[in-house]
Structure 1
Amino acid sequence: MKLAYVSSQKQGETDRLLTELADDLQAGGLELRGIVKEQGYSAVYENGCDMYVRVLPDGPSIKITQDLGEGSNACRLDPASIVEAVARVENSSFDDIDLFILNKFGPEEIAGRGFCTVLAKAVEHDVPVLVGAGVAGREAFQKFAGGMAESLPDDATVLRNWCQKPR
């Protein structure tokens, strides 16, 4: 079982690293599943809390946040859109894939929902798993992974090397 997570103290850095890593690995011929943040989208709100994710390997992009209006500090996550993203990933083949990437072990996963079953499916298929984890997500992901997940630095070269190492 090959599990790892990456965290960065710099806002948006984990998303940027994972999206660029996925693009580089796919360009190099690796077969990926999961989701990464759509980097070409500019957030409408100052807190940056609206976003699209791209389903790997080749889309679609799905807006996973709701428009709650200017000034709202409530969680913008759209559970129905998360369910759609999960279904698209879950219904794809897990045979002959090289890596599963999840941009963030977030509130839905912390609550035992979201991509938890898909992460388990990847592990069952002996697919290496790389997850982005913020402060709240690190402990929850380690618990989910039974303490077996390796912590990786927010360094593109280290991440690429980890992904390309044999299982």
Structure 2
Amino acid sequence: MTLYASLPATAPIAALPGEPSAQAQALIADFAQRLAESGARVAGVTQARILDEATGRSRIVLRDVADGALYAISQDLGAGSVACNLDSSELALACASIERRVAEGVDLVVISKFSKQEASRGGLADAFRASMMAKVPVVTAVSPHYVEEWRQFAGPLAEFLAHDLDALFAWWERAQKAQLTGAE
């Protein structure tokens, strides 16, 4: 039996086109907050930029939607650096946090995005897999540069949605109904 055969027929992954990224992240964060306020157990991370007061430069962080913890996934390599500034240890910590919360039991997981790291099966890919195995619905954004890799990774489990709260809530309603009825 494949992973896909054991999951509900309704796509348990809502994927938003990832550009513009800041808007996708704000929408995902708003959706997560509204669901949490309504009593849903929501876990995961959204991406944001913050100002590093020590350097005056912008840094990329992942913000835990449950407790607000920040994972600084970009390192300051100095002015003029062109090297990759990804802090993979912080990314791994964020991934492990999501996996722990999935194991504890949640209703929804939000994962900031599927991009270069996830396309190569790193980054937050294990958080996606943990959610899929636990049959927990996921909301994410997908980088336009990795749409084909996304389709190979998520297969029939995902559906693209418009950048719209109404579309997310309609998807959430379908996902909940599928879980309640045990539809396969």
TM-score range, shorter chain: 0.7 to 0.9
| Alpha-carbon distance in structure 2 between the residues aligned to 1:86 and 1:11 | 20
The percent of aligned pairs where both chains have the same amino acid is 26
The one of 133, 148, 152 aligned to 1:124: 133
Higher mean Cα deviation, 11-20 or 70-79?
A: 70-79
Aligned-residue RMSD, C-alpha:
2.1
In our comparison, the structure showing a higher alpha carbon Rg is 2
Partner amino acid, structure 2, of 1:131 = T
Query: What's 2:107 paired with?
Result: 98
Matched with 1:6 is 16
Q: Please say if residues 36 and 54 of structure 1, whose CA atoms lie closer than 8 Å, have aligned partners that are also in contact.
A: yes
From 98, 112, 117, the equivalent of 1:89 is 98
Please give the alpha-carbon distance, in whole angstroms, between the structure 2 residues aligned to 1:100 and 1:140.
20
The alignment of Structure 1 onto Structure 2 pairs a total of residues equal to: 163
When residues 63 and 151 of structure 1 are mapped into structure 2, their CA distance, relative to the original with a 3 A threshold, is: same
Q: 1:150 pairs with 137, 153, 159, which one?
A: 159
Partner of 2:119: 110
| Letter of the 1:120 counterpart | R
DSSP-derived class of the 2:110 partner? strand
**Letter aligned with residue 30 of structure 1:** A
- Equivalent residue letter for 2:32: A
Give the structure with the larger strand fraction. 2
Normalized per residue, which structure has more helix? Answer: 2
- SS of residue in 2 equivalent to 1:76: coil
Q: Which runs of 5+ in 2 are unaligned?
A: 1-6, 179-184
**For the Cα contact (< 8 Å) 1:8–1:154, is it kept in 2?**
no
Quick one: structure 1 residues 8 and 118, their matched pair in 2 at CA, closer, same or farther if it must change by over 3 Å?
closer
Q: For the Cα contact (< 8 Å) 2:99–2:131, is it kept in 1?
A: no
**Cα drift, residue 3 of structure 1:** 1.7
Cα 1:11–1:71 shift into 2, 3 Å? farther
Task: Read off the aligned partner of 1:4 and give its amino acid letter.
Answer: A
Write the distance in 2 (CA, Å) between the matches of 1:154 and 1:121: 25
SS at match of 2:109: strand
CA contact (8 A) 1:106 1:137 kept: yes
Question: Does the CA contact (< 8 Å) of 2:73 and 2:90 recur in 1?
Answer: yes
- Post-superposition CA distance 1:86-140 (Å, at most 9, x none): 1222222435421111111122111111222221111111111111111123222
TM-score (norm 2): 0.78
Distance between the aligned counterparts of 1:108 and 1:136, measured in 2?
12
SS in 2 for 1:71: coil
TM-score (norm: length of structure 1)? 0.85
Inter-partner Cα distance in structure 2 for 1:84 and 1:92: 12
Give, in whole Å, the separation in 2 of the partners of 1:28 and 1:12.
Answer: 24
Is the Cα contact below 8 Å between 2:22 and 2:48 reproduced in 1? no
Deviation at 1:73, TM superposition (A): 3.7
Which of 40, 57, 60 is equivalent to 2:66?
57
